[in-house]
């Protein structure tokens, strides 16, 4: 998430009421999660296990809960609760704005696009030309849709990420400030749910077709010309490369990559990253030929046992 104006280290420290290490005029351009940080970003870390990863990341300001040696060219914000303060930054620079109409006046809708009754389109949404948005679709703030897109009834774009910190008093939500982007010629079936990024973008690539009742988690990137069948659940921060086929009732772990051209057979649990150009099946996932041989071997063993 980029700020509309460049901030300084001192300004952010004053906002959070925390101490800082580094030049007070050090420039800060946004905030992001560790997997998408860039120069100028703030990243937060609140567990010693991940200190080194955050300090060595592309982020140039680290919101951290302990004073440590500051890497050259970077700055620190010393917070008692980095998770809470990261949320504070999001709320300050990207506050929730309540809707005043079903289709926001700030929304931009391209020529030839058809909006069916009872569609909700939030603030600053951009929709390209020659799209069809069917009844009861909800498109949250800041989503961006390309051209020639079809979205069927009851689908939701841009709901919050499922991201919580477990505290003694209950679960504390990490506020979502990202968006969803659909590229040209994407089709979404009925009752799909595509969560927005926490600080970045959940993206569905050009020409991808998604069946009914599919869930896509926050910050996931789906490539071009993919096919995803009904009742598939894709976790957050997943990378699905181009021309992947995922059949029905597949589930994935977060943070994995599915390589280009892979085929994931129905009811598979994709528990780890898999190479492209191969077919996969089962839980835990393995190449489909190997898994089918294993199952055949188990059946043969059972037959032998029965004879004995």
Catalytic residue set: 218
Q: CA 5 to CA 211: how far, in whole Å?
A: 40
Residues near 264 by beta carbon (within 8 Å), at least 6 away in sequence: 244, 245, 246, 247, 250, 258, 270, 274, 279, 280, 281, 285
Residues near 260 by beta carbon (within 8 Å), at least 6 away in sequence: 223, 241, 242, 243, 244, 276, 277
């Amino acid at each position: 998430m980029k700020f509309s104006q460049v901030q300084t280290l001192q300004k952010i420290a004053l906002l959070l009421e925390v101490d800082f290490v580094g030049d007070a005029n050090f420039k800060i351009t946004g905030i992001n999660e560790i997997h998408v940080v860039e120069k100028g970003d703030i990243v937060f870390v609140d567990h010693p296990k991940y200190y080194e990863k955050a300090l060595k990341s592309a982020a140039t300001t680290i919101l951290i809960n302990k004073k440590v040696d500051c890497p050259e060219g970077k700055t620190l914000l010393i917070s008692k609760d980095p998770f809470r303060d990261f949320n504070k930054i999001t709320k300050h620079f990207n506050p929730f704005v309540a809707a005043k109409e079903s289709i926001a006046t700030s929304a931009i809708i391209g020529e030839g696009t058809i909006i069916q009754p009872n569609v909700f389109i939030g603030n600053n949404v951009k929709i390209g030309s020659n799209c069809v948005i069917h009844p009861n679709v909800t498109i949250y703030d800041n989503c961006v849709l390309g051209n020639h897109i079809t979205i069927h009834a009851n689908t939701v774009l841009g709901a919050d990420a499922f991201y919580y910190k477990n505290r003694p008093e209950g679960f504390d939500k990490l506020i979502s400030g990202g968006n969803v982007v659909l590229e040209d010629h994407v089709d979404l079936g009925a009752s799909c749910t595509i969560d927005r990024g926490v600080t970045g973008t959940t993206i569905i690539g050009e020409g991808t077709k998604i069946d009914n009742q599919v869930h896509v988690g926050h910050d996931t990137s789906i490539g071009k010309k993919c096919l995803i069948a009904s009742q598939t659940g894709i976790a957050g921060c997943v990378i699905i490369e181009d021309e992947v086929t995922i059949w029905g009732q597949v589930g994935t772990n977060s943070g994995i990559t599915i390589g280009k051209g892979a085929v994931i057979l129905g009811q598979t649990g994709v528990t780890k990253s898999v190479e492209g150009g191969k077919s996969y099946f089962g839980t835990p996932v393995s190449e489909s030929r190997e898994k089918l041989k294993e199952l055949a071997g188990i059946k043969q063993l059972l037959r032998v046992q029965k004879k004995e």
